[in-house]
Amino acid sequence: MKWPTLLLLALPFAQAHQPTTGGETALVVDDPYISYAYNASFVTGEELFRVELTYDRGFSLPFELLVEDRPENQAFRPMFAVVGPGLPTPSAEELELLPEALPDGEGAYVDLNDDDPRASIFEGVMRRVYLTTGPVALLLQPGEYEVWIWSPEGDLGDVVLGFGVEEDFSGGFGGLFADWSTYAY
């Protein structure tokens, strides 16, 4: 069992777990020191999902992007980038694929989701098999960060961004279990 199993077991199913469509609204993470699974759906393929994280101290955490391992998702390779201070300048290819220009003075970790083949893992909470970018641990300085998630080919589908390690369910489950069939078999 790999990372998403632990991740989703450890994650607080807060508001971040509600499916998000449209791309107009950024998710502002109130507590960036705990772990989340952020669900989003590409309905038009034009969406740019943003997750905002603000750190008042240097912090290390893993990020990973998942799509369900279904036949219709085999070519669905959404990308993500962690954008903020202290991160390096992306490669020319990555810069070209970013959905927006980087803010002045900021860099990014960019995951082009181009592993071939992609790893497939079983996630035990949602009872689903996911294709994954694989987790990457990043060292973040204090400051404001955004995670961008986009579908470069305009493909449609659902994605899950997992980030963080420490669990904290004190904020509840964000209605996840009231809408369980949306998320799990």
Partner 1 sequence: MACAIARDAELGLETDVARFDAAGDCWGSPAGQQLCDEACDNGLTFLRERYSALPPECAS
Binding site for partner 1 (CB under 8 A): 1-7, 10, 57-62, 64, 88, 109, 134-141, 165-167
Minimum CB separation of residue 61 from partner 1 in Å reads 7
Beta-strand pair 128-132/36-42: unpaired
Tokens 């589908």 -> residue: 157
Nearer residue to partner 1 within complex by CB, 62 or 175 = 62
Taking Cα atoms as reference points, which of 110, 58, 113 lies closest to residue 89?
110
Minimum CB separation of residue 23 from partner 1 in Å reads 27
Nearer residue to partner 1 within complex by CB, 51 or 140 = 140
Nearer residue to partner 1 within complex by CB, 28 or 136 = 136
Structure tokens at 116: 């071939």
Minimum CB separation of residue 32 from partner 1 in Å reads 11
- CB contact set of 135 (below 8 Å; sequence gap of 6+): 3, 7, 62, 63, 64, 162
Per the CB < 8 A criterion, the answer to whether 21 and 156 are in contact is no
What are 113-117's contacts with CB under 8 Å, separation 24+?
113/65, 113/77, 113/78, 113/79, 113/80, 114/77
Taking Cα atoms as reference points, which of 128, 125, 129, 130 lies closest to residue 177?
125
Nearer residue to partner 1 within complex by CB, 34 or 40 = 34
Nearer residue to partner 1 within complex by CB, 75 or 137 = 137
Minimum CB separation of residue 156 from partner 1 in Å reads 27
